[in-house]
Amino acid sequence: MEVRLKILFTSLCHTDVYFWEAKGQTPVFPRIFGHEAGGVVESLGEGVTDLKPGDHVLPVFTGECGDCRHCKSEESNMCDLLRINTDRGVMLSDGKTRFSINGKPIYHFVGTSTFSEYTVVHVGCVAKVNPAAPLDKIFVLSCGISTGLGAILNVAKPTKGSTVAIFGLGAVGLAAAEGARIAGASRIIGVDLNPNRFEEAKKFGCNEFVNPKDYDKPVQEVLAEMTNGGVDRSVECTGNINAMISAFECVHDGWGVAVLVGVPNKDDAFKTHPVNFLNERTLKGTFFGNYKPRSDLPSVVEKYMNKELELEKFITHEVAFSDINKAFDYMLAGEGIRCLIRMDT
């Protein structure tokens, strides 16, 4: 049930940086990072029947086995077998790695390890896509962009003309803004502590901005005043617990829905008064935008092909694979959104 892929394009997001810096985990070393990529099928392992060499694919850090209760449910994408596991550095079939150097194992990362010209992935983590779609554009759909987009379109579900607040204008937040634009929201309010992000966010549909540092009261109160009682939908994309609380408390009573996307610290606790729920505000969470990788990503690619979804604007830098450390430098400096890393140069 394994597939060997030739990776053509990859990128990195904060997850790669977080684990590269060995924060909040038991480090696994040595291992190959990378989990946002596009490539082609090179060869197939035993039991793989729905792919063939040459197929264009997106490897995904979470999977879809097709057999567990989650995969069979229309309401979940959290596969029991292939859900993200940041500690496991081996393949499921035999507990061994597919990378080595001088006879010693090199470990895998979240089942993908795309910082390599070739990688081996469980077939349940491989989404076959339209071969006419340019892989150097759609590769960003294998992680952050789908997460933010799906948080809006699949979970928050704003109606046309509604008001949406986006907390955090990094790649995931901008993808959420893009989703709000596609859904027809009339007011898309970007909330970020970095005002340098506001101009870029206009390209993704944000038409109003709030910097919490500019006010001497909680930002949820500022948003409530701006929107006659609260926004219709909010999406939190920072992982900051205070932003999560603000995102929930800024939605309108009676119908407001807040969606949490960011991953908090393990010791964080979400605190709000229960009356906020009694007043019919809804709090939801999402994982990979509620997309099932194999079933749903092909249709997201078609949104791009039909010009509903714009992906080019997410790619702000480009480097050769041999210069991958430059991509880390860009991210650590807070420059740009996504860096396209070409494996063939």
Active-site choice (4, 42, 83, 117): 83
Our answer to whether residue 206 is catalytic in this structure is no
Cα separation values, 50 from 237, 247, 294, Å: 35, 42, 11
Active-site choice (2, 10, 65, 163): 65
Active-site choice (4, 68, 310, 318): 68
Cα 40 to its chain centre, rounded Å, is 21
Active-site choice (56, 197, 252, 338): 338
Our answer to whether residue 26 is catalytic in this structure is no
Cα separation values, 335 from 31, 186, 193, 327, Å: 26, 29, 15, 10
Active-site choice (10, 31, 35, 119): 35
Our answer to whether residue 339 is catalytic in this structure is no
Our answer to whether residue 88 is catalytic in this structure is no
Active-site choice (2, 10, 15, 108): 15
Active-site choice (79, 125, 206, 250): 79
Our answer to whether residue 159 is catalytic in this structure is no
Q: How deeply is 9 buried, as exposed, middle or buried, from its count of CB atoms within 10 A (0-12, 13-18, 19+)? A: buried
Active-site choice (2, 31, 36, 147): 36
Our answer to whether residue 65 is catalytic in this structure is yes
What's the rounded Cα separation, in Å, for the pair 22 and 233? 35
Our answer to whether residue 14 is catalytic in this structure is yes
Active-site choice (71, 125, 206, 250): 71
Active-site choice (10, 31, 108, 143): 143
Active-site choice (2, 13, 56, 250): 13
Our answer to whether residue 252 is catalytic in this structure is no
Our answer to whether residue 338 is catalytic in this structure is yes
> Which residues participate in catalysis according to the annotation?
13-15, 35-36, 65, 68, 71, 79, 83, 143, 338
